[in-house]
Amino acid sequence: MSQTIIITGGAGFIGSHVVRRFVTHYPNYRIINLDALTYAGNLENLHDIEDRSNYIFEKANILNAEAIDKLFASYHPDGIIHLAAESHVDRSILSPLDFVYTNVIGTVNLLNAAKKLWNGQHSNKRFYHISTDEVYGALGESGFFTEQTRYDPHSPYSASKAASDHFVRAYGDTYQMPVIISNCSNNYGPNHFPEKLIPLFINNIIEKKPLPVYGDGLYTRDWLFVKDHAAAIDLVFHKGKDHETYNIGGFNEWKNIDLVKLLCKLADEKLNRPKGESEKLITYVKDRPGHDRRYAIDASKISKELGWKPSVTFEEGLSQTIDWYLQNTEWLRHVTSGEYQQYYKKQYQS
C-alpha cells in the first residue's frame, strides 16, 4: 500500500461517497473509515465496497481522544480527511452542545492525534478538514462567498464549524501542520439523510405527507451533486496547497420554493401521478430561527488553480437522486424508523 488515509465520518452522506471514490480509484491506498455510527452514520451506504482489500472500517468516536490516539498509532496515517460532524442546522438549534463537542472538540482531538503521530515530520502528510459555506454567514440578493469573505456564522452548527476551521488554521500556523480546508455549498444526491430538504421532501412526496417549507420559501441555496464534491475533495487532497482554503460550489442557485416545485414535478412524472399532485402537499410552516437568506459560492479559485468544475447538471443530478430513493425504499425505511420519528415529531409537530 502506497499510503494510508483515515477518512472520518465515512459512513455518512458525503463521507460514504468520498470513501467509495478513494477505495475504487486508488487500490494501492489503504483507506480507513473511522466513524462512530451516530443516527447519521450507516454502513449500508458502503455495502458495495465493504469487501475490498484496501478498505477497513473502525467504529470510533472522535470525542474519545485515547481511542483516536491508539488508532493513529496503529495505522500511521499519511493523510486525514475529516468529515465526521454533527451536520444538521435544525438539530443544532435543538441541542447546540452536541455540535460543540463533536465539531469543535472532536476536530481538536484529531489535530492532536495527528500532531503527536507526525511529531513535526510532515513530508507527504496532510490534514484535510471538510467545512461548509455556512461559516461565511448570509448574502443579500447579490454577491458571492470567496475565500476572503469574513466569517459570520449564525447557527450553532455554523458557529461550531467556524470554530473548527479556526482550530485547523491555528494548528497550521502554530505547529506548522500541513493543513488544508475546503468550504462547500449544499450537497444533494443518493444516501442523503432524510432530515435535509431534498431527501426529506422526496420521502414525504413518496408517503404523500406535507412538505414543510420554512418561512416565505424564498431562501436561496447553491446545490452541488455529492459525487462532484467527492471529486473536488480528491483533487484538493492530491493537488491543493498546504495552508490554503478552497471554496467548492455548484454555480447553481435555487430559491427553496422553486426547487421544491421542480422536485414535485419530476417526482410526479416518475411516480405516474397526475401533474400538480405533489405540489398540493406544499405547506408553509414557521421559519427556522436565524435562517440565512442566501448562500452562493465563488468557486473560481478551485476551478482556475486545480481545474475542477461540476460534471452533473442539476436536472440530471436531481433526477438520478429521485430514482435512487425510489429504488432504495429499504434504505429509506431503515433510516426513518426509531430515532427519526422522535426527531420528526419534535421538529415539525411541536
Active site residues: 133-134, 157
Q: Judging by beta carbons within 10 Å of its beta carbon (0-12, 13-18, 19+), is residue 68 exposed, middle or buried?
A: buried
Asked if 273 is part of the footprint of ligand DAU (rule: CB under 6 A), the reply reads: no
Q: With CB cut-offs between 5 and 8 Å by kind, which of ligand NAD, ligand DAU, none does residue 193 bind?
A: ligand NAD
Residues of span 64-93 touching ligand DAU by CB under 6 A:
87-89
- Strand (E) or helix (H) holding 94: helix 89-94
Asked if 14 is part of the footprint of ligand NAD (rule: CB under 6 A), the reply reads: yes
What does the block give as the cell for 82? 475529516
- Nearest approach in angstroms of CB 106 to ligand NAD is 5
Q: Which of 33, 102, 185, 336 binds ligand DAU (CB under 6 A)?
A: 185
For residue 246, the cross-strand partners are 182
- Nearest approach in angstroms of CB 129 to ligand DAU is 13
Binders of ligand DAU: how many residues, by CB under 6 A?
A: 19
Confirm if 319 and 263 have CB atoms less than 8 A apart: no
Residues of span 97-116 touching ligand NAD by CB under 6 A:
102, 106
> Binding segment for ligand DAU among 45-53, 74-82, 129-137, 232-240 (CB under 6 A)?
129-137
- Strand (E) or helix (H) holding 57: strand 55-59
The CA distance from 114 to 146, in Å, is: 29
Asked if 36 is part of the footprint of ligand NAD (rule: CB under 6 A), the reply reads: yes
**Cβ closest to ligand NAD, residue 132 vs residue 278:** 132
* 285 Cα distance to chain centroid: 25
- Strand (E) or helix (H) holding 186: strand 186-188
The CA distance from 188 to 146, in Å, is: 22
* Sequence-distant contacts of 200-205: CB under 8 A, at least 24 apart: 201/260, 201/263, 202/263, 202/267, 202/321, 202/322, 202/325, 203/325, 203/332, 203/336, 204/281, 205/263, 205/264, 205/267, 205/271, 205/278, 205/281
Residues of span 242-271 touching ligand DAU by CB under 6 A:
256
Q: Which of 20, 126, 161, 227 binds ligand NAD (CB under 6 A)?
A: 161
The residue ranges that bind ligand DAU (CB under 6 A) are 87-89, 132-134, 185-186, 196-197, 200, 212-214, 219, 221, 256, 288, 295
The residue ranges that bind ligand NAD (CB under 6 A) are 8-9, 11-15, 35-38, 40-41, 61-63, 83-87, 102, 106, 130, 132, 161, 184, 186-187, 193
